[in-house]
Structures are given as structure tokens and as C-alpha cells.
């Protein structure tokens, strides 16, 4: 008896399922063709992934740097000025992962946060305090991931009544320095001097390294443009306890007037005559002007300028020449010297 397959029995019973591509095509037309299609599709998918990843850029491995503890603020200082306590600090680390600084204050109990400032700030002014009450301050840094740094150094301050502002400030232009003086603000008062090239705007730091005990100060003379000064009184404390600023003074080089030249000598030779005089004592003198007398009616006229205290006559005329010399400052010149007569 001949064996009959299950498929043949189903066909005999009237069931005729459709032939699959594998059955229809056999080994060559089925498995091989299907494998080829799958391979091509996989290759296209892989190529697309390569294009996408190359166009989107290469991402680096994940990092925990953003979660690192920030560096603590340093060199915290406190200055009592008028009606405010000014805190200032330094921060030497990079700030790309930093968000802000927290200012904390302690009075009777523990530290409490009183304010936050952006990472670009390095100072804070506290107006809410009472005279005679001791306070402590510290500052911490906070990262973008809310990680807090260690505390800065702690600064202690006890606000006291500030001394009055200095009065009657005056200055005198010296040969190479500016001498400033003012009235004393009291027996125990010290002083800080502030300088600026812009009227009414001053740094928080004075130009003197240590508080002054005397009511005077000598500064380097500036001749490039106007300079402004103000003085503050302070008490002898571990922190700066400054009062209000004095009136402002303006030192303008355009008003500097040199002393007139003197000490003239004339040295004559066969073909020339040299007139020399003492060099101006002011270091800010830029040059000298030589005026020669024309006649009684027209007086003197400018004939030359010299950067040194001397000039030379090279054309012998056999006549009498009369000269007067001036020294020139940043803008103005001195009074004319005495008349110098030269027969040449």
C-alpha cells in the first residue's frame, strides 16, 4: 500500500491551502531569495544608523563632574560703611558648574541664610543690623546640581557708631607728588583715602595700604586727566568701621602752573651762543618756550620751544637780543622769566 502524506489527505478532502513562496520557488527561489531580501534590508538599516549618528555628532561618555562639591569661597571680609555691612569674598575656581552664593549670618543662635547672589557677584551689602550687636558671617557656593561647598572663613563684626566725615579737604601740587590734608575727625579716628578718575564713583578699597593716623596723605601726581578724591574716617578695629565720605575734591592737571625759570647763564663762542638755566623742579613740566623781544610796541614773540633747559643762537648778527623764558605744564605755562640780554 502506498503511503499518503498529510497534505495529500487535506487536498483530497477539498482543502487546498495556497502555496508559500518557499514551496513555490523551492530552495533557490525561496530561502535564498528571502535571505537576500533580509540581508539587504539589514544593510540599509545599518547604513541609515551610521548616517544618523555621524550627522548628530559624537557624544562623550557620561561624567559626574557636575555633581562635584564646589570650591569654598575664600578671603571673606566685612566693612561697616555708613548704614550697611559690606561683605566681599574671592572665588578662584571656574564657575561653569556654579549657580550662586549663599550668605549666612549668625546673631544669638546658629547661622541662617539671609540672601543669595548670582555666581558673578563677589560682594553683598547687609542693611538689616543693629548697632552694638555682634554678628558672624560666612558664604557658601551652590552648584547647578544643588551641591553646596564647604563654608568660607567666618568673619565677626560688631557695628558701632561711626566717626564723622573729615572736613576742609585741601591739596597742594608738589614737584612730583600731590599733598592732601584735612581737619582731624577726633582723637581716635583713622582715615582712608579713595581716588577715582570718574567723578562720584569710587572702589570699595582705599589707595592707602593701612589706615592713616595723621590727617594728611601724599599721592603720586597724575597728569593725564582730572582725578577725584574723598576721605572717610574709621575706628581702629579688626574690620573697617567707616563713616560717611567727605566732600569730593578735583585735581585737574590743566590748572597746574610751573614756577618760572631762573638761574640763567650765557656761554658765547665764535660761531654760536648758548643760553642755559636751571631745570624746573616740577617733574610734570613738559617743555620750555623762548620769547624774543621784537620792539617796544609789539613786545615779545615766540621764537622756539625746547624740551631741555637750554637753547642755542647760531646766526651771529652783531646785535643785542632780549629773551624771556617760560616753563610749560600739562596745559598752562609759568610766568615769564626775567629778561636775558645777549650781544651776538
**pLDDT above 70 covers what percent of the chain?**
82
Residue 304 predicted with pLDDT over 80 = yes
**Torsion angles phi and psi, residue 334, rounded to 5:** -75, 175
157 vs 12: which has the higher pLDDT: 157
pLDDT (tens digit per residue) in 2-51: 444 444 544 444 445 544 443 444 444 444 444 444 445 455 555 444 44
Nearest to 100 by CA among 141, 70, 65, 138: 141
Q: How confident is the model at residue 52 (pLDDT cuts 50, 70, 90)?
A: very low
pLDDT value of residue 22: 39
Residue 291 predicted with pLDDT over 70 = yes
* Mean pLDDT of the 281-296 span: 93
Q: Where are the domains of the chain?
A: 1-43, 66-157, 170-253, 265-343
pLDDT value of residue 282: 92
What is the C-alpha to C-alpha distance for residues 60 and 145, in angstroms, rounded to an integer?
Answer: 20
Residue 157 predicted with pLDDT over 70 = yes
299 vs 41: which has the higher pLDDT: 299
Q: Domain 265-343 classified CATH 2.60.40.10?
A: yes
DSSP symbols for 187-248? TT-EEEEEEESSTT---SS-SSSS-BSSSEEEEEPP-SS-EEEEEEEEESSSSEEEEEE---
pLDDT (tens digit per residue) in 185-219: 888 899 999 999 999 999 989 999 999 999 999 99
pLDDT value of residue 207: 96
Identical topology for domains 170-253 and 265-343: yes
* Mean pLDDT of the 95-119 span: 93
Q: What is the largest CA-CA distance in the chain?
A: 162
**Rg of the chain over all Cα atoms, to the nearest angstrom:** 44
* Mean pLDDT of the 250-261 span: 94
CATH number listed for the domain at residues 66-157: 2.60.40.10
Tracing cell 555691612 back to the chain, one arrives at 85
CATH number listed for the domain at residues 170-253: 2.60.40.10
pLDDT value of residue 290: 96
Residues 6+ apart with CB under 8 A from 213: 190, 191
Contact 101, 139 (CB under 8 A): yes
* Mean pLDDT of the 131-153 span: 94
242 exposure class (CB count in 10 Å sphere: 0-12, 13-18, 19+): buried
**Eight-class DSSP state of 175:** S
Residue 74: helix, strand or coil by DSSP? strand
pLDDT value of residue 40: 53
Q: How confident is the model at residue 62 (pLDDT cuts 50, 70, 90)?
A: low
Residues 6+ apart with CB under 8 A from 49: none
Residue 149 predicted with pLDDT over 70 = yes
Residue 99 predicted with pLDDT over 90 = yes
Residue 138 predicted with pLDDT over 70 = yes
Amino acid at each position: 500500500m502506498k503511503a499518503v502524506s498529510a497534505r495529500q489527505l487535506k487536498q483530497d478532502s477539498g482543502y487546498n491551502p495556497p502555496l508559500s513562496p518557499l514551496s513555490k520557488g523551492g530552495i533557490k527561489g525561496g530561502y535564498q531569495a528571502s535571505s537576500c531580501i533580509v540581508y539587504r534590508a539589514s544593510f540599509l538599516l545599518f547604513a541609515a544608523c551610521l548616517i544618523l549618528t555621524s550627522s548628530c555628532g559624537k557624544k562623550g561618555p557620561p561624567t559626574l563632574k557636575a555633581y562635584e562639591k564646589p570650591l569654598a569661597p575664600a578671603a571673606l571680609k566685612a566693612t561697616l560703611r555708613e548704614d550697611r555691612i559690606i561683605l566681599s569674598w574671592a572665588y578662584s575656581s571656574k564657575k561653569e558648574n556654579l549657580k550662586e552664593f549663599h550668605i549666612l549670618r549668625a546673631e544669638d543662635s546658629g547661622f541662617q541664610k539671609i540672601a543669595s547672589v548670582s555666581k558673578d557677584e563677589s560682594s553683598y551689602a547687609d542693611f538689616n543690623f543693629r548697632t552694638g550687636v555682634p554678628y558672624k558671617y560666612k558664604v557658601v557656593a551652590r552648584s547647578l546640581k544643588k551641591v553646596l561647598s564647604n563654608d568660607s572663613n567666618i568673619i565677626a563684626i560688631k557695628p558701632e557708631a561711626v566717626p564723622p566725615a573729615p572736613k576742609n579737604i585741601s591739596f597742594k601740587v608738589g614737584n612730583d607728588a600731590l599733598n592732601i590734608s584735612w581737619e582731624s575727625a577726633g582723637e581716635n579716628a583713622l582715615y582712608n583715602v579713595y581716588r577715582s578718575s570718574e567723578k562720584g564713583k569710587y572702589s570699595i578699597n582705599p589707595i592707602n595700604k593701612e589706615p592713616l593716623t595723621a590727617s594728611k596723605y601724599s599721592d603720586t601726581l597724575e597728569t593725564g586727566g582730572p582725578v577725584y578724591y574723598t576721605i572717610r574716617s574709621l575706628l581702629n578695629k579688626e574690620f573697617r568701621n567707616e563713616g560717611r565720605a567727605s566732600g569730593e575734591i578735583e585735581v585737574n592737571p590743566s590748572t597746574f602752573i610751573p614756577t618760572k625759570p631762573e638761574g640763567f647763564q650765557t656761554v658765547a663762542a665764535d660761531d654760536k651762543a648758548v643760553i642755559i638755566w636751571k631745570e624746573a623742579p616740577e617733574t610734570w613740566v613738559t617743555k620750555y618756550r623762548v620769547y624774543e623781544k621784537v620792539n617796544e610796541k609789539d613786545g615779545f614773540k615766540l621764537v622756539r620751544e625746547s624740551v631741555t633747559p637750554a637753547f642755542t643762537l647760531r646766526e651771529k648778527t652783531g646785535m643785542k637780543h632780549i629773551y624771556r623764558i617760560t616753563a610749560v605744564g600739562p596745559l598752562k605755562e609759568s610766568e615769564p622769566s626775567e629778561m636775558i640780554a645777549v650781544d651776538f
